[in-house]
Structure 1
């Protein structure tokens, strides 16, 4: 996998358009959590959503999910399991959020 760069980013709003500014996610044990959609973007053929826990005090870390599109057109947010992909996307988001 190659490193991503800011000039490859296309800002999107597919998750916000589909679910609104707050999304409900359920973990494997059935616990439901709510997240504010902060940013969404496509880069190098993949889509990502940056979410922040709604119940946090503002100091909570954001979480980045990969956006997958099912055959029926519905969206699914999944965790990024590949460490290199996670590192590349996280660094890219930091670069976009906190430019030097």
Structure 2
């Protein structure tokens, strides 16, 4: 795993996402990293923060060079990425 900053470089600390009804939500970029060749982003809206939850997405690069967030469809992949983020955020206590 390697930490990256592709989204922050392009958008700053916050990113605006739109839902199916074209409603916008501001998300804070908490972490970005690559696992192998695949990039991931951990983001959090004010609503998710209240619930102490985060959203995790794949980061891909479109042909025009623009970054795109994609939902992680595979449960095993999501679990792996979620656990890696937990380890980054809450390192194991060193005895």
TM-score above 0.5, yes or no:
yes
Residues in 2 aligned to 1:56 and 1:81: alpha-carbon distance in whole angstroms: 20
**Unpaired stretches in structure 1, ≥5 consecutive residues:** 1-8
Deviation at 1:29, TM superposition (A): 2.3
Moved more, 24-33 or 47-56: 47-56
**Unpaired stretches in structure 2, ≥5 consecutive residues:** none
What is the TM-score when the length of structure 2 is the normalising length? 0.87
Deviation at 1:53, TM superposition (A): 0.6
Whether 1:82 aligns to 2:77 is no
RMSD over aligned Cα, in angstroms?
1.5
After TM superposition, what 4+ stretches of structure 1 lie above 4 angstroms from structure 2? 55-59
Report the equivalent of 1:73. Answer: 65
Residues in 1 aligned to 2:51 and 2:20: alpha-carbon distance in whole angstroms: 25
**Pairs within 5 Å for 1:4-83:** 9-54=1-46, 58-83=50-75
